[in-house]
Structure 1
Amino acid sequence: MGLFGRQLIDIIEWLDNTNDTIAYRFERSDNEIKQGAKLIVRPGQKAVFVNEGFVADEFTEGTYELYTRNLPILTSLKSWKYGFESPFKAEVYFFSTRIFSDLKWGTSNPIMIRDNEMGPVRIRAFGSYSIRVSDPRFLLEQVIGTDGLFQVHEISNHLRNVIVPSVTSWVASSGIALLDFAANYRQMGDQVKAAVQNDFTPLGVEIAQLTIENISLPKNVEEALDKRSSMGILGDMQQYTQYQTAEAIENFSQQPGGSNPGMGMGMGMAMGQQMANAMQPQSAPAAPPPPPTANQWYMSKNGQQIGPAAPHQLAQQGLTPETLVWCQGMPSWQPAAQVPALASALPASPPPVPPPTAAPPPPPIADAPPPPPADETPEWYIFRSGDRTGPFTKSQLVEQGVTGRTNVWRNGQGDWQRARDIPDLADVITD
């Protein structure tokens, strides 16, 4: 028995056998801590002494002999009836400062975003994150309180509710094309991590890592993309059909003793017909269908469907060569530049620059400014938001806010192109 018949605590330590305990209050009931008791704080731990609701002292890893004379804050909080050599009471909280990893986050509901290529679309996102205790005092005061055993699941839901809105906001405002998300997962994770850290700091918690594992589309949209990719891989559908037919005939002929004469004859006739068609001169392609009548055209602009309308009405609504259009009889939406019937409704291309005359230039006049350098010739036109402006010099393109996605044109160029696809503009276009 110790002083006054009560058991005295002489070793204070915490051995954690779990993987998800953040904080543990040392069990002592009414036991008192004797003078000279040992406090053992192991690597990856911190200890906090609490007396009567106030944080008294904090200890990092190491072994300490506890005396009231070397606990200055605790000494100032208590009145020592028996002097500095008497036992004392204090609540001791141990904190694990290791990284708690593989915590999951995800959107509970789809996020509606506006994609530059697909228009409005719903997506889901999920990933993982890891945390560690950065300030035990804040965590004890703001979150734990009197909880004697505080585990990860008690705070993970709150942290997840902080992460998901930040991810949603960043994705919606990033301007990154949906098909380019996978190439930017690391950048997105780093920027969201920096944004949510401001919300974690007051809780005494640091977010060590945040990863975006996947951003997925609805199942029907994924199936449509798969079909579109498959059609691009197959290429010429007529050649693919001929190849499939030849493969089927060869496989049929190799079946042992089970051939059907009627089926073999039919397949042979089909193959012969294909060979005959291949040997005949190709006929001229069929003429395009007549233009649709008025009030049959639709266009997609800023994620909204406009129509039905006549071609000249589409032009009044800001029709551009890149605008997606559709009318009855078309299998899918197509850019207006690929629809011959709408050629008259599209804005006219810039007039060609006249060729230079063969005569040499006149001699320079005294005190006249020198001619501009070749790369400063005002020869560039811009097509943006349905309006064509120009001509501009290369330096003026920068002043006009031209980006890599802006459509530009100059004399000698066959069609409008994005600025990032023109090598001559690489030194003035930065994105």
Structure 2
Amino acid sequence: MSFFRNQFSNVVEWEEFRDDMIFWKWNNPEIKKGSKLIIRPGQDAVFINNGKIEGIFKDEGEFQIESDIIPFLSTLKGFKFMFNSGMRVEVLFVNTKEFTVKWGTQNPILIPTPQLPGGMPIRANGTFNFKVNDYVTLIDKVAGVKSTYLVEDVKIRITSVLNQLLMKWISREGKDMFNLQANSMDIARGIREDLDMEVMGDGLAITGFQVMSFNYPQEIQDMITKVASQGMIGNLTQYQQVSMTDGIASGRVQGGGAAADMAGMMMGMNLAGEMMKNLSQNPVAGQHPNSITGTGAGAAGNAAARPNFCPNCGAKNEGANFCPNCGQKLG
């Protein structure tokens, strides 16, 4: 008797498991007496009879269908294998992992913006995550007509509506067209919610959506870079001062050469100018604010007391309180 039982027995398993496959349907017409079920890590086995779920088995391992599985099937608990007949049920193996898929816009999306009448052409790329979360809906809408279901099938479904969703959430609430990356989290959150509603009818759930980058046409990107550079430089005089100071401190501008002399001269002139400006705004205590430009013995005496040449660097002085070259106080 055992000889015939082994002849009719079979193994119910997803042997060629694929990471890019969402489910796979065991395609034998019936389960024989003495069969066993093998569930590997990352798989669930769903027994289906007449389109309805009989039982879902999640524990990995090897199980005897007659003794370990049938007693837990909802309407087939009393099923008894006959000598030469098997149990007619379908077994759907479901990949339980969370899938991560890369996406990217194939063509630029024209986002309406007042700056460009024809719209701002923008490309974007990123990733999204999804998993199976409703077996009943999955079987009813997808597995009932398909024997396999691939990640690529879901990607095609998602990318078919992605351009419209990007346009919707980029344009919403007046997003800054030239700084979309700063708003990428808000944009991604809105798209994820819409995509989740889109695939919910297939028994799937979008668990994450990320925008890695927004890409502008080269001429627009050059303009953004130029505006950002001008904003960083700000005051040109301050930029020159900082550049020269960095050059001397790093050794790129060294003493003895024309570059160093020019740098020292410009720094001295700028420093003297700032000091004169501060002096004019904050006159010496006890003096009338206009006394510095006045005439008379006091002004003449002060001018006479100032040397014609700086005692520190030798630069010529024309009546200033501070040397225009090195900043040495002269009067």
**What TM-score bracket applies, with the shorter chain setting the length?**
0.5 to 0.7
Letter in 2 for 1:208: T
Q: Does 1:21 align with 2:21?
A: yes
1:159 CA drift (Å): 2.2
Letter in 2 for 1:107: T
1:211 CA drift (Å): 1.4
- Shifted more, 11-20 versus 181-190: the winner is 11-20
Inter-partner Cα distance in structure 2 for 1:229 and 1:240: 14
Identify if the C-alpha distance between structure 1 residues 22 and 275 changes in structure 2 by more than 3 Å, giving closer, same or farther: closer
Inter-partner Cα distance in structure 1 for 2:58 and 2:36: 13
Query: Residue 99 of structure 2 contacts residue 130 of structure 2 at CA under 8 Å; is this kept in 1?
Result: yes
Query: Residue 53 of structure 2 contacts residue 136 of structure 2 at CA under 8 Å; is this kept in 1?
Result: no
Query: Residue 37 of structure 1 contacts residue 66 of structure 1 at CA under 8 Å; is this kept in 2?
Result: yes
Aligned to 1:294: none
Query: Residue 122 of structure 1 contacts residue 218 of structure 1 at CA under 8 Å; is this kept in 2?
Result: yes
Aligned to 1:127: 126
Q: How many residues align?
A: 263
1:131 CA drift (Å): 0.9
Letter in 1 for 2:8: Q
Query: Residue 46 of structure 2 contacts residue 57 of structure 2 at CA under 8 Å; is this kept in 1?
Result: no
Identify if the C-alpha distance between structure 1 residues 242 and 93 changes in structure 2 by more than 3 Å, giving closer, same or farther: closer
1:111 CA drift (Å): 2.2
The residue correspondences of 1:19-418 to structure 2 (distance < 5 A) are 19-26=19-26, 28=28, 32-35=30-33, 37-41=35-39, 44-50=42-48, 54-55=51-52, 57-62=54-59, 65-66=65-66, 71-73=73-75, 86-101=85-100, 103-115=101-113, 120-145=119-144, 147-179=146-178, 181-237=180-236, 251=253
1:251 CA drift (Å): 4.7
Identify if the C-alpha distance between structure 1 residues 277 and 70 changes in structure 2 by more than 3 Å, giving closer, same or farther: closer
Inter-partner Cα distance in structure 1 for 2:191 and 2:267: 61
Identify if the C-alpha distance between structure 1 residues 232 and 18 changes in structure 2 by more than 3 Å, giving closer, same or farther: same
SS at match of 1:25: strand
Inter-partner Cα distance in structure 1 for 2:47 and 2:267: 92
Percent same amino acid at aligned positions? Answer: 24
Inter-partner Cα distance in structure 2 for 1:268 and 1:45: 73
Letter in 2 for 1:8: S
Inter-partner Cα distance in structure 2 for 1:90 and 1:100: 28
Letter in 2 for 1:45: Q
Inter-partner Cα distance in structure 1 for 2:262 and 2:202: 76
Query: Residue 69 of structure 1 contacts residue 84 of structure 1 at CA under 8 Å; is this kept in 2?
Result: no
Q: Output one character per residue of 1:33-67: Cα deviation in whole Å (capped at 9) or x when no partner.
A: 2346443445643223345x634523131357447
Aligned to 1:2: 4
Q: Output one character per residue of 1:288-329: Cα deviation in whole Å (capped at 9) or x when no partner.
A: xxxxxxxxxxxxxxxxxxxxxxxxxxxxxxxxxxxxxxxxxx
1:203 CA drift (Å): 1.1
- What TM-score does the superposition give when structure 2 sets the normalisation length? 0.61
Inter-partner Cα distance in structure 2 for 1:143 and 1:185: 33
Higher relative contact order (CA 8 A, sep 6+): 2
Inter-partner Cα distance in structure 2 for 1:131 and 1:140: 17
Q: Unaligned regions of 5+ residues in structure 2, if any?
A: 274-331
Identify if the C-alpha distance between structure 1 residues 99 and 84 changes in structure 2 by more than 3 Å, giving closer, same or farther: farther
Query: Residue 33 of structure 1 contacts residue 87 of structure 1 at CA under 8 Å; is this kept in 2?
Result: yes
Q: Unaligned regions of 5+ residues in structure 1, if any?
A: 256-263, 282-431
Identify if the C-alpha distance between structure 1 residues 251 and 177 changes in structure 2 by more than 3 Å, giving closer, same or farther: closer
